[in-house]
Amino acid sequence: MEKRFFDELEAMDRQEREAYQTRSLKEALERAYSNAKAIRELFDRSGIRVEEIRHPDDMERIPIIRKTDVIELQRKYPPYGGLLTIEEERVERVFVTPGPIYLPHQIEGISWFGKSFFAAGFRPGDIVINTPTYHMSPAGILFHEGIRACGATVVPTGVGNTDTQIRIILDLKVTAFSGMPSFLMTIIKRAEELGYDFKRDFRLKKAWFTGEMLPASLRRTFEEEYGIDTYQCYSVTELGGCVAYECQEKKGMHFMDEYLIEIVEPDTGKRVEEGQIGELVATPLHNPTWGLIRFGTGDMTSFTRETCPCGRTSFRITGIVGRSEDAVKVRGMFVVKKQVDGFFSSFPEIHHFQLCVGRREEKDELLLRIELADESIDKEQLKRRIEEGFPSVCRVRIDAFEFLPKGSIEEEKTLVDRRKWE
């Protein structure tokens, strides 16, 4: 009988998970403080003792480390920024990411990334083309090991060479794909140009995506037109791989148990409530090499504690809605440019818009400026539709509307913060 989950951690009782993560967090912090110079300085500078962090909730006291901080640390303490927790001669592999950031890789045979591939249905007998790069970036090797942990066969094709990839998929009867959705679509379209019927002539029926967003429309195309079952994984290079992943329910991505994941206010580092938007911050719990803690990804999301029908008990992120630099806090809630743009894209009546955040009588105010595609459009009806739909997407209401002639909104930005804090 086939097992339901990759490992026993996925179905842990939530109290058991909290205890497990608390133990793991203490070990990770002690390891980082004892061995990583930069982390020791961070704690000492902040006046925090490691033993004072007794529970994941206490992590709010520790400053967030961002990519720019890692770059500066590596300039100060080359080559690893004072974040290495083992002797340099014990480092097995070093990856290089934009910055540049030098990432010492922990150990070979990392199996827990296999959770995300197992949840996507990868099993022994599957033949998988693994299309992320195998050089400099850790993606190719990490995903390779995750696929192998599920018992599937890996074909390390890497990026590019579309015609060669098509020949490989045909000759080896490839059943699954690992990589970016845009590249799989490139493969499919090129195969069609060469005269193939992709659904009929190829055996590829599973796809695991990371590296870029998977729009709902593209997912429907893969699944309905080509019969390819699609799954997403949220990965962060600086954290060493997969942080959250989809199950067959495809209703958010499960937290990976090997990380402590927090959803916080970017400016304060304080945790937000369930359903509210915040920045995803993560701490690796079982990386014996890399002492990075409380890494701020810059990605904005929300989370849910709702029980998943798949049986996995971890919390889930509900999708990445944008970047922290494209988010504005209004009346205690983050309004994210990507969500705003997505909402208004469904209104063909609107030629151009601009959502402005201001202050009136010490209160935040949202003003929507609209240029109509056609001046004969019923403005009141349009307002009602926007007023009804906008809060369900962005969780705040629009206070005022301003209809303008075409060409009046000179600034291209669609979300503008005009508040002055004096």
Which pLDDT value is given to residue 324? 83
* Residues 381-404: tens digit of each pLDDT: 999 999 999 998 888 899 999 999
What's residue 344's pLDDT? 96
Q: What is the mean pLDDT of residues 228-249?
A: 93
Q: In what order do the strands lie in the sheet with 415-417?
A: 400-404, 363-372, 350-360, 415-417
**The model's pTM:** 0.83
Percentage of the chain exceeding pLDDT 90: 76
Give yes or no for a cis peptide into 79 (omega within 30° of 0).
yes
Whether 6 shows a pLDDT value over 70: the answer reads yes
Q: Which of 230-244, 257-271, 318-332 has the lowest mean pLDDT?
A: 318-332
Residue whose structure tokens are 């990075």:
292
pLDDT at 36: 97
98-146 pLDDT, tens digit per residue, is: 778 899 986 566 788 899 999 999 999 999 999 998 888 888 998 999 9
Q: What pLDDT band is residue 421 in, cutting at 50, 70 and 90?
A: low
Question: pLDDT band for position 1 (50/70/90)?
Answer: low
Q: Which of the four pLDDT bands, split at 50, 70 and 90, describes residue 273?
A: very high
Model pLDDT, residue 340: 92
- The residues, ordered by sequence, that sit 6+ positions from 121 with a Cβ below 8 Å of its Cβ are 206, 229, 231, 248
* Residues 329-345, mean pLDDT to the nearest whole number: 86
| pLDDT tops 60 at residue 422 | no
Which pLDDT does position 108 carry in this prediction?
61
Bridge partners of residue 284, in order along the sequence: 259
| Predicted confidence (pLDDT) per residue in 48-107, tens digit | 999 999 999 999 999 999 988 999 999 999 999 999 999 999 998 899 887 788 999 865
Q: How confident is the model over 252-269, as pLDDT tens digits? A: 999 999 999 999 999 899
Rounded CA-CA distance 259/236 in Å is: 12
Domains assigned to the chain = 1-320 (3.40.50.12780), 328-417 (3.30.300.30)
Which pLDDT band, with edges at 50, 70 and 90, does 222 fall under? very high
The share of the chain scoring above pLDDT 70, in percent, equals: 98
- What pLDDT score does 213 carry? 80
CA gap 171, 385 in Å, rounded: 53
pLDDT at 226 over 90: yes
Mean pLDDT across the chain, nearest whole number?
Answer: 93
For position 106, what pLDDT does the model report? 63
Least confident of 100-109, 209-218, 297-306, 316-325: 100-109
Torsional sign, CA 345, 346, 351, 356 = negative
For 15-35, write each residue's pLDDT tens digit: 999 999 999 999 999 999 999
Check residue 212 and give its pLDDT: 84
Supply the pLDDT for residue 323: 83
More confident residue, 330 or 184: 184
Is the pLDDT score of 354 beyond 60?
yes
pLDDT digits (tens, 9 = 90+) for 144-193: 999 999 999 999 999 889 999 999 999 999 999 999 999 999 999 999 99
For residues 107 and 91, what is the distance between their CA atoms, to the nearest angstrom? 8
